[in-house]
Protein backbone atom coordinates (compact mmCIF):
# COMPACT_ATOMS: atom_id res chain seq x y z
CA UNK A 1 0.00 0.00 0.00
CA UNK A 2 1.52 3.28 -1.09
CA UNK A 3 1.02 6.76 0.35
CA UNK A 4 0.03 5.40 3.73
CA UNK A 5 -0.46 7.94 6.48
CA UNK A 6 1.75 7.58 9.54
CA UNK A 7 0.20 7.90 12.98
CA UNK A 8 2.73 7.98 15.80
CA UNK A 9 0.35 6.42 18.30
CA UNK A 10 -2.39 3.87 17.80
CA UNK A 11 -5.48 5.62 19.20
CA UNK A 12 -7.81 4.14 21.77
CA UNK A 13 -11.31 5.17 20.80
CA UNK A 14 -14.80 4.12 19.77
CA UNK A 15 -16.52 5.35 16.65
CA UNK A 16 -19.18 4.41 14.13
CA UNK A 17 -18.61 3.87 10.42
CA UNK A 18 -21.38 3.81 7.81
CA UNK A 19 -21.63 0.78 5.50
CA UNK A 20 -19.05 0.88 2.72
CA UNK A 21 -16.91 3.54 4.38
CA UNK A 22 -13.52 3.01 5.92
CA UNK A 23 -10.18 4.37 7.05
CA UNK A 24 -7.50 4.79 4.40
CA UNK A 25 -4.12 3.07 4.52
CA UNK A 26 -2.05 4.12 7.53
CA UNK A 27 0.32 2.72 10.12
CA UNK A 28 1.03 3.17 13.82
CA UNK A 29 4.17 3.05 15.94
CA UNK A 30 2.12 1.09 18.48
CA UNK A 31 0.13 -2.15 18.24
CA UNK A 32 -3.62 -1.95 17.76
CA UNK A 33 -6.53 -4.18 18.68
CA UNK A 34 -9.49 -3.55 16.38
CA UNK A 35 -12.96 -4.79 17.31
CA UNK A 36 -16.37 -4.36 15.69
CA UNK A 37 -19.04 -4.46 18.38
CA UNK A 38 -21.60 -4.54 15.57
CA UNK A 39 -21.24 -5.13 11.86
CA UNK A 40 -18.33 -6.76 10.05
CA UNK A 41 -14.83 -5.32 9.81
CA UNK A 42 -12.29 -5.96 7.07
CA UNK A 43 -8.63 -5.02 7.38
CA UNK A 44 -6.44 -5.11 4.28
CA UNK A 45 -2.66 -5.06 3.86
CA UNK A 46 -0.40 -5.90 0.94
CA UNK A 47 -0.39 -9.48 2.29
CA UNK A 48 -4.16 -9.97 2.10
CA UNK A 49 -7.34 -9.30 4.04
CA UNK A 50 -8.70 -10.28 7.43
CA UNK A 51 -12.46 -10.19 8.03
CA UNK A 52 -14.03 -10.27 11.49
CA UNK A 53 -17.64 -10.35 12.66
CA UNK A 54 -18.71 -9.08 16.08
CA UNK A 55 -17.42 -12.21 17.82
CA UNK A 56 -13.84 -11.61 16.65
CA UNK A 57 -11.17 -8.91 16.89
CA UNK A 58 -8.11 -8.24 14.73
CA UNK A 59 -4.62 -7.73 16.12
CA UNK A 60 -2.58 -5.28 14.01
CA UNK A 61 1.14 -5.17 14.93
CA UNK A 62 3.02 -1.89 15.14
CA UNK A 63 4.27 -0.59 11.80
CA UNK A 64 1.79 -2.59 9.70
CA UNK A 65 0.35 -0.55 6.83
CA UNK A 66 -3.37 -1.32 6.80
CA UNK A 67 -6.78 0.05 5.88
CA UNK A 68 -10.22 -0.53 7.43
CA UNK A 69 -13.49 -1.25 5.64
CA UNK A 70 -16.97 -1.28 7.19
CA UNK A 71 -19.64 -3.76 6.18
CA UNK A 72 -22.98 -3.01 7.75
CA UNK A 73 -23.37 -0.34 10.43
CA UNK A 74 -19.98 -0.69 12.10
CA UNK A 75 -19.43 -0.01 15.78
CA UNK A 76 -15.64 0.24 15.79
CA UNK A 77 -13.48 -0.02 18.92
CA UNK A 78 -9.74 0.67 18.70
CA UNK A 79 -7.22 0.00 21.46
CA UNK A 80 -3.60 1.06 21.17
CA UNK A 81 -0.88 -0.83 23.04
CA UNK A 82 2.78 0.28 23.30
CA UNK A 83 5.14 -1.44 20.89
CA UNK A 84 7.01 -3.03 23.81
CA UNK A 85 3.72 -4.59 25.00
CA UNK A 86 2.98 -7.54 22.74
CA UNK A 87 0.96 -10.08 24.75
CA UNK A 88 0.53 -12.25 21.65
CA UNK A 89 4.09 -12.18 20.36
CA UNK A 90 2.72 -11.79 16.82
CA UNK A 91 4.29 -9.83 13.97
CA UNK A 92 1.40 -10.01 11.49
CA UNK A 93 -2.36 -9.30 11.64
CA UNK A 94 -4.33 -12.07 13.31
CA UNK A 95 -8.02 -12.68 14.02
CA UNK A 96 -8.80 -13.50 17.65
CA UNK A 97 -11.86 -14.98 19.33
CA UNK A 98 -13.59 -12.45 21.58
CA UNK A 99 -14.97 -14.04 24.72
CA UNK A 100 -17.77 -12.30 26.67
CA UNK A 101 -15.18 -11.11 29.21
CA UNK A 102 -12.79 -9.78 26.54
CA UNK A 103 -15.68 -7.98 24.86
CA UNK A 104 -16.57 -6.18 28.08
CA UNK A 105 -12.93 -5.27 28.66
CA UNK A 106 -12.66 -3.78 25.16
CA UNK A 107 -15.84 -1.77 25.66
CA UNK A 108 -14.67 -0.53 29.06
CA UNK A 109 -11.23 0.51 27.75
CA UNK A 110 -12.70 2.47 24.83
CA UNK A 111 -15.49 4.04 26.87
CA UNK A 112 -13.05 6.42 28.57
CA UNK A 113 -9.72 6.04 26.73
CA UNK A 114 -8.12 9.12 28.35
CA UNK A 115 -8.49 7.73 31.86
CA UNK A 116 -4.97 7.26 33.25
CA UNK A 117 -6.08 6.10 36.68
CA UNK A 118 -4.60 3.04 38.42
CA UNK A 119 -7.97 1.33 37.95
CA UNK A 120 -7.81 1.87 34.19
CA UNK A 121 -4.23 0.58 34.02
CA UNK A 122 -5.29 -2.56 35.87
CA UNK A 123 -8.18 -2.95 33.42
CA UNK A 124 -5.78 -2.85 30.48
CA UNK A 125 -3.50 -5.35 32.23
CA UNK A 126 -6.42 -7.78 32.51
CA UNK A 127 -7.22 -7.15 28.84
CA UNK A 128 -3.66 -8.15 27.92
CA UNK A 129 -4.04 -11.30 30.02
CA UNK A 130 -7.20 -12.18 28.11
CA UNK A 131 -5.52 -11.54 24.77
CA UNK A 132 -2.80 -14.05 25.67
CA UNK A 133 -5.38 -16.83 26.04
CA UNK A 134 -7.65 -15.83 23.13
CA UNK A 135 -7.74 -18.53 20.44
CA UNK A 136 -6.40 -17.42 17.07
CA UNK A 137 -8.61 -17.94 14.03
CA UNK A 138 -7.41 -18.69 10.46
CA UNK A 139 -9.71 -16.06 8.93
CA UNK A 140 -7.25 -14.67 6.42
CA UNK A 141 -7.51 -14.47 2.64
CA UNK A 142 -3.88 -13.99 1.56
CA UNK A 143 -2.93 -12.10 -1.59
CA UNK A 144 -0.79 -14.11 -4.04
CA UNK A 145 2.36 -12.81 -5.71
CA UNK A 146 2.47 -15.41 -8.51
CA UNK A 147 0.84 -14.07 -11.72
CA UNK A 148 -0.90 -17.40 -12.33
CA UNK A 149 -2.38 -17.45 -8.82
CA UNK A 150 -3.35 -13.80 -9.10
CA UNK A 151 -5.36 -14.58 -12.24
CA UNK A 152 -7.06 -17.57 -10.60
CA UNK A 153 -7.84 -15.72 -7.38
CA UNK A 154 -9.34 -12.79 -9.29
CA UNK A 155 -11.75 -15.21 -10.97
CA UNK A 156 -12.96 -16.54 -7.63
CA UNK A 157 -13.07 -13.12 -5.95
CA UNK A 158 -15.43 -12.06 -8.75
CA UNK A 159 -17.57 -15.20 -8.36
CA UNK A 160 -16.97 -17.22 -5.16
CA UNK A 161 -19.76 -19.58 -6.27
CA UNK A 162 -17.58 -20.78 -9.16
CA UNK A 163 -17.27 -24.48 -8.29
CA UNK A 164 -14.83 -25.50 -10.99
CA UNK A 165 -11.98 -27.79 -10.03
CA UNK A 166 -8.42 -26.56 -9.80
CA UNK A 167 -7.67 -28.36 -13.07
CA UNK A 168 -10.53 -26.57 -14.85
CA UNK A 169 -9.49 -23.18 -13.47
CA UNK A 170 -5.91 -23.98 -14.41
CA UNK A 171 -6.88 -24.43 -18.04
CA UNK A 172 -8.26 -20.88 -18.01
CA UNK A 173 -5.13 -19.33 -16.46
CA UNK A 174 -2.66 -21.52 -18.34
CA UNK A 175 -1.25 -23.70 -15.56
CA UNK A 176 -1.65 -27.32 -14.49
CA UNK A 177 -3.43 -28.22 -11.28
CA UNK A 178 -0.16 -29.70 -10.01
CA UNK A 179 1.66 -26.40 -10.56
CA UNK A 180 -1.15 -24.42 -8.97
CA UNK A 181 -1.30 -26.74 -5.95
CA UNK A 182 2.40 -26.21 -5.40
CA UNK A 183 2.02 -22.44 -5.75
CA UNK A 184 -0.85 -22.29 -3.24
CA UNK A 185 1.31 -23.96 -0.60
CA UNK A 186 4.50 -22.07 -1.42
CA UNK A 187 2.97 -18.62 -2.04
CA UNK A 188 -0.03 -18.59 0.29
CA UNK A 189 0.80 -21.24 2.87
CA UNK A 190 -2.45 -23.16 2.39
CA UNK A 191 -4.14 -25.54 -0.01
CA UNK A 192 -6.56 -24.46 -2.72
CA UNK A 193 -9.64 -25.80 -0.85
CA UNK A 194 -8.52 -23.99 2.32
CA UNK A 195 -8.06 -20.71 0.45
CA UNK A 196 -11.42 -21.02 -1.31
CA UNK A 197 -13.19 -21.71 2.00
CA UNK A 198 -11.55 -18.63 3.57
CA UNK A 199 -12.65 -16.51 0.62
CA UNK A 200 -16.21 -17.82 0.78
CA UNK A 201 -16.50 -17.26 4.53
CA UNK A 202 -15.23 -13.70 4.15
CA UNK A 203 -17.68 -13.00 1.33
CA UNK A 204 -20.50 -14.58 3.34
CA UNK A 205 -19.83 -12.27 6.30
CA UNK A 206 -20.12 -9.25 4.02
CA UNK A 207 -23.38 -10.46 2.45
CA UNK A 208 -24.89 -11.19 5.86
CA UNK A 209 -24.50 -7.51 6.82
CA UNK A 210 -26.85 -6.70 3.93
CA UNK A 211 -29.63 -8.71 5.61
CA UNK A 212 -29.51 -11.24 2.80
CA UNK A 213 -31.30 -14.54 3.57
CA UNK A 214 -28.97 -17.31 4.66
CA UNK A 215 -30.06 -19.53 1.76
CA UNK A 216 -29.17 -16.82 -0.76
CA UNK A 217 -25.81 -16.18 0.91
CA UNK A 218 -25.05 -19.91 0.82
CA UNK A 219 -25.68 -20.22 -2.91
CA UNK A 220 -23.93 -16.96 -3.82
CA UNK A 221 -20.83 -18.14 -1.98
CA UNK A 222 -20.76 -21.60 -3.52
CA UNK A 223 -22.34 -23.94 -0.98
CA UNK A 224 -24.75 -26.52 -2.32
CA UNK A 225 -27.29 -25.92 0.44
CA UNK A 226 -28.02 -23.64 3.39
CA UNK A 227 -27.40 -26.52 5.80
CA UNK A 228 -23.92 -27.14 4.35
CA UNK A 229 -23.13 -23.43 4.68
CA UNK A 230 -24.42 -23.26 8.26
CA UNK A 231 -22.32 -26.28 9.21
CA UNK A 232 -19.08 -24.76 7.84
CA UNK A 233 -19.93 -21.36 9.31
CA UNK A 234 -20.63 -22.81 12.76
CA UNK A 235 -17.38 -24.75 12.77
CA UNK A 236 -15.47 -21.59 11.79
CA UNK A 237 -17.17 -19.11 14.13
CA UNK A 238 -18.87 -21.15 16.84
CA UNK A 239 -22.35 -19.82 16.08
CA UNK A 240 -24.90 -19.67 13.26
CA UNK A 241 -24.80 -17.08 10.45
CA UNK A 242 -27.75 -15.22 11.96
CA UNK A 243 -25.57 -14.14 14.90
CA UNK A 244 -22.59 -12.98 12.86
CA UNK A 245 -22.99 -9.22 13.01
CA UNK A 246 -24.21 -8.49 16.54
CA UNK A 247 -21.80 -10.41 18.74
CA UNK A 248 -24.42 -13.07 19.43
CA UNK A 249 -26.49 -10.66 21.53
CA UNK A 250 -29.67 -11.23 19.53
CA UNK A 251 -29.52 -15.00 19.17
pLDDT tens, residue by residue, 158-169: 999 999 999 999
Q: Does 18 share its domain with 85? A: yes
- Which pLDDT band, with edges at 50, 70 and 90, does 244 fall under? low
Q: Report the alpha-carbon distance of residue 2 to residue 216 in Å, rounded.
A: 37
The residue from 137, 159, 176 where one domain ends is 137
pLDDT at 9: 55
Q: Does 103 share its domain with 35? A: yes
- Which pLDDT band, with edges at 50, 70 and 90, does 4 fall under? low
- Looking at the structure of the chain, the number of domains it has is 2
Q: Does 195 share its domain with 121? A: no
Q: Which residues contact 109 (CB under 8 A, 6 or more apart)?
A: 12, 79, 120, 123, 124, 127
Average pLDDT value for residue range 109-128: 84
User: Is residue 238's pLDDT more than 90?
Assistant: no
Whether 22 and 93 have beta carbons less than 8 Å apart is answered as no
User: Is residue 42's pLDDT more than 50?
Assistant: yes
User: Is residue 250's pLDDT more than 50?
Assistant: no
Average pLDDT value for residue range 126-143: 89
Question: Is 9 among the domain residues?
Answer: yes
Q: Does 208 share its domain with 133? A: no
Average pLDDT value for residue range 56-81: 91
Q: Report the alpha-carbon distance of residue 216 to residue 200 in Å, rounded.
A: 13
Q: Does 172 share its domain with 111? A: no
Question: Is 36 among the domain residues?
Answer: yes
Q: Does 13 share its domain with 133? A: yes
Query: What does the pLDDT look like over 6-40, one tens digit per residue?
Result: 765 567 888 888 888 988 999 999 999 999 988 88
Domain limits for position 76 = 5-137
DSSP 170-218: HHHHT--HHHHHHHIIIIISS-HHHHHHHHHHHHHHHHHTTT--HHHHH
Range of weakest confidence among 108-117, 121-130, 206-215: 108-117
pLDDT at 251: 41
The residue from 137, 172, 189 where one domain ends is 137
Question: Is 172 among the domain residues?
Answer: yes
Q: Which residues contact 50 (CB under 8 A, 6 or more apart)?
A: 42, 43, 44, 58, 93, 94, 95, 139, 140, 141
Query: What does the pLDDT look like over 182-205, one tens digit per residue?
Result: 999 999 999 999 999 999 999 999
User: Is residue 246's pLDDT more than 90?
Assistant: no
Average pLDDT value for residue range 48-74: 91
pLDDT at 113: 66
The residue from 75, 107, 137 where one domain ends is 137
pLDDT at 99: 92
pLDDT at 101: 95
Average pLDDT value for residue range 27-56: 90
Q: Report the alpha-carbon distance of residue 240 to residue 251 in Å, rounded.
A: 9
pLDDT at 241: 86
Amino acid sequence: MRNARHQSLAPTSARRLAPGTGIDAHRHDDHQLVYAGRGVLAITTDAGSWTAPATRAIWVPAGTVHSHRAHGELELHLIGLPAHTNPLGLDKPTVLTVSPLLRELILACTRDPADGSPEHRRLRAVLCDQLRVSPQQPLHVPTPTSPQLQALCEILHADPADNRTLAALGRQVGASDRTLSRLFKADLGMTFPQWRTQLRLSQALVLLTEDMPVTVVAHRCGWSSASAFIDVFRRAFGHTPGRATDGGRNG
